[in-house]
Amino acid sequence: MNKKPLLLLQMGEPPREIAAQVGEQGDWFNAALAERDYPINIVRPDRGASFPAYTDVSAVVISGSWAMVTDRLRWSELTGAWLREAYHAGVPMLGVCYGHQLLADVLGGTVDDNPNGLEMGLLPVTLTAQAKDDALLGAFPARFSAYLTHLQSVLVPPPGAQVLARSHIDGCQIIRYSDRVLSSQFHPEFTAETMLACIGRNESALQQLGRDIDEMRQLGEEPIWARRLLLDFVNRFA
């Protein structure tokens, strides 16, 4: 029996130097999900691609981006409108980084520059008390590491949404909008190579912030619990 594909909305593309080293968002998600037995349909809204019918996809993953939600780019706004309709249609969705912010924005939250500044590296994420009863997060440890790189954040979650995780400088690391829709500010699809490419591109900015670049590059073990959020979501709905 043919399975409906998982829809990956690739929100733009990385800077050339990052893409040359580690590829694009679609490559990262394909690699992260390589051992799973279901088709993945990559759609590029930034290139004017049409959105499929809600009934033709099993679930939706919205990728990160080098754009900003507050730029109000036409392709992003069109994506947001489609996501809002998909949410009300009951389509399972997982937003990641930019996708996390875009979902929060279109569902009534507030997204803007994080007043605490740039968050980047392999950093700890802490679950809230509500997470222990969550269908996907109930078995997670109270604290785990994740790859992060962003300037903007969800400053105010949408009405009725549950904040399920925080970090030191970001109060909305995981948001639950419904039993089928959630999002994460961190990158469950990243590998160490992807994170290192992002650190390298931002080296000057990080040095100006007083960050120890050599220390940041010592990433340690892969953040398996962050990756599990993506895998468990897809296993449940795709």
Contact 33, 86 (CB under 8 A): no
Q: Decide if 221 is catalytic.
A: no
Confidence at residue 1, expressed as pLDDT on a 0 to 100 scale: 44
Q: Does residue 190 register a pLDDT over 70?
A: yes
Confidence at residue 209, expressed as pLDDT on a 0 to 100 scale: 84
Q: Which of 28-42, 58-72, 113-127 shows the lowest per-residue confidence on average (mean pLDDT)? A: 28-42
Q: Decide if 193 is catalytic.
A: no
pLDDT digits over 82-128, tens only? 999 999 999 999 999 999 999 999 999 999 999 999 999 999 999 99
Q: Decide if 189 is catalytic.
A: yes
Distance CA 11, CA 64 (A): 6
**Residue of 119, 150, 189, 198 marked catalytic:** 189
Q: Which two tokens stand for residue 78?
A: 């069109």
Average pLDDT, the chain: 96
**Residue of 13, 97, 119, 150 marked catalytic:** 97
Q: Does residue 25 register a pLDDT over 90?
A: yes
Q: Does residue 158 register a pLDDT over 80?
A: yes
- Read off the pLDDT of each residue in 3-25 and give the average, rounded to a whole number: 96
Confidence at residue 36, expressed as pLDDT on a 0 to 100 scale: 80
- Read off the pLDDT of each residue in 65-82 and give the average, rounded to a whole number: 98
Contact 229, 190 (CB under 8 A): no
Distances (CA, A) of 16 to 177, 202, 206, 235: 34, 14, 20, 32
**Residue of 13, 172, 187, 198 marked catalytic:** 187
Domain range list for the chain: 6-237
Contact 97, 187 (CB under 8 A): yes
Q: Does residue 136 register a pLDDT over 80?
A: yes
Confidence at residue 41, expressed as pLDDT on a 0 to 100 scale: 96
The CATH H-level (homologous superfamily) assignment of domain 6-237 is: Class I glutamine amidotransferase (GATase) domain (3.40.50.880)
- Read off the pLDDT of each residue in 184-198 and give the average, rounded to a whole number: 97
Confidence at residue 2, expressed as pLDDT on a 0 to 100 scale: 59
Three-state SS for 66? Answer: coil
Confidence at residue 220, expressed as pLDDT on a 0 to 100 scale: 86
Distance CA 32, CA 189 (A): 6
